[in-house]
Amino acid sequence: MHARLARLTGPAPRHEDLVPERALRMAEAHPYDPWALVRAAEVMARAGRRDAAIGQLEKAVWLFDLDPPSARIALRQLAALDADWRDRQVVQVHVYADESIRSQSGWRFRLRTVLARVSVALGQILDVRFVPIWIGGFLSEQVPNDLDAIDGALARSIRRERGPGIHAGFTERPLPHRSGRLKKGLAQLLGRQMIVRLEPGEFQSRVLAHEILHLYGAMHVVKDLDSLMNPTGDSMQLDRPSARVVRAMRRRVFLTGDPRRDVLPHIDLTEAIAAYEAVLAVNLNFRRMGLQAAFRTRRTSRYQAADEARVAVGMDTHLADVLDIVAALLRADRRPAEALILLDAAARLYGSETARGRETSAAAESLRRWLLGVYRVSEDPRRPSGR
């Protein structure tokens, strides 16, 4: 409906000297033109109709990609009119839709709404408005229907369309049958690229909320926990330790995709490290409880107990990503010795057969050499210490 109405009404003719009645009439006649909406909102605000003005301005923000300069004016006016908008972070999103999404009429409006709804759903935790700075296509038909392959196709499109902001890909290719373990979303921890599989007709996506939280540093805490950070289940609540991590990262930016540049300079290091310590402590506690349960199971079945124990201590590359990030936080906080322990652990979890594992192991090695050099210098009595 929105798409059809937008086509019917089109953009308003540009007049700079608008009398108030004409500005209001224009926004009514061209309700999908952010420029006209902003002009009408100015008139409404001057007439004391604050709520009506806010409504028009929020609509201009919803339509951000159609006219970014007007939408930016709308954001400034919202901050002036509404205290809720004053502290809100605004994050640009480059939206990429594959053929399965673009084959449906009104798909751009659908994705604008998906972003608006996820901003509201995460409002209590993040207070960020994700706005579409650009909405376009990418091609996924030629690659297999698993998210790693589709994510690769997305990465090849992004090279042509860079710029600050999140790069979010959307697909609606149906999950293959018997695909219980196949991923519905993929995001780089504290990076800026992600891909989300939408369900048919979906306008509000839990998977999108979950992946956005990965961009803000949240990890999978525990499998059985009722939380947005549990990859399975349907909880829209975020567990408290994850909420603390995400809040600590709230002021991160999306410029390079490299956490060392996009995250570290913009956050409170002490709080971020403490938040991760808390979240890792919960994770460790649940592993201990799992081991205790496995120990009890041993009385009835050794095989089942072995299985349970494996699940309880099983570590994966996701945990390695987290350790790598915490190591970077510790180094920035001048705690290199602790960072080294985590880097070594991350390298082991990635495994020496992977590129990421070899990279991390080389980083640990160079940090180790640097640390040894520092100690040697300070232990040499002929040199001044503390250099």
Chain residues that interact with Zn ion, rule: CB under 5 A: 231
To the nearest whole angstrom, how small is the minimum distance from the Cβ of residue 267 to Zn ion?
Answer: 21
C-beta closer to Zn ion: residue 70 or 193: 193
d(CA 129, CA 132): 10
To the nearest whole angstrom, how small is the minimum distance from the Cβ of residue 183 to Zn ion?
Answer: 8
C-beta closer to Zn ion: residue 123 or 231: 231
C-beta closer to Zn ion: residue 70 or 283: 283
C-beta closer to Zn ion: residue 73 or 263: 263
C-beta closer to Zn ion: residue 122 or 364: 122
To the nearest whole angstrom, how small is the minimum distance from the Cβ of residue 218 to Zn ion?
Answer: 8
To the nearest whole angstrom, how small is the minimum distance from the Cβ of residue 276 to Zn ion?
Answer: 16
d(CA 347, CA 324): 9
C-beta closer to Zn ion: residue 176 or 233: 233
C-beta closer to Zn ion: residue 35 or 350: 350
To the nearest whole angstrom, how small is the minimum distance from the Cβ of residue 213 to Zn ion?
Answer: 8
To the nearest whole angstrom, how small is the minimum distance from the Cβ of residue 228 to Zn ion?
Answer: 10
C-beta closer to Zn ion: residue 209 or 339: 209
What residue number has its CB nearest to Zn ion? Answer: 231
d(CA 293, CA 311): 11
C-beta closer to Zn ion: residue 22 or 318: 318
To the nearest whole angstrom, how small is the minimum distance from the Cβ of residue 220 to Zn ion?
Answer: 6
Q: What is the dihedral of CA 316, 317, 319, 322, to 10 degrees?
A: 180
Question: Residue 120 CB: number of other CB atoms within 10 A?
Answer: 10
To the nearest whole angstrom, how small is the minimum distance from the Cβ of residue 120 to Zn ion?
Answer: 21
To the nearest whole angstrom, how small is the minimum distance from the Cβ of residue 347 to Zn ion?
Answer: 22
Give the C-alpha distances (Å, rounded to integers) separating 123 from 90, 116, 203, 216, 226.
12, 10, 17, 14, 19
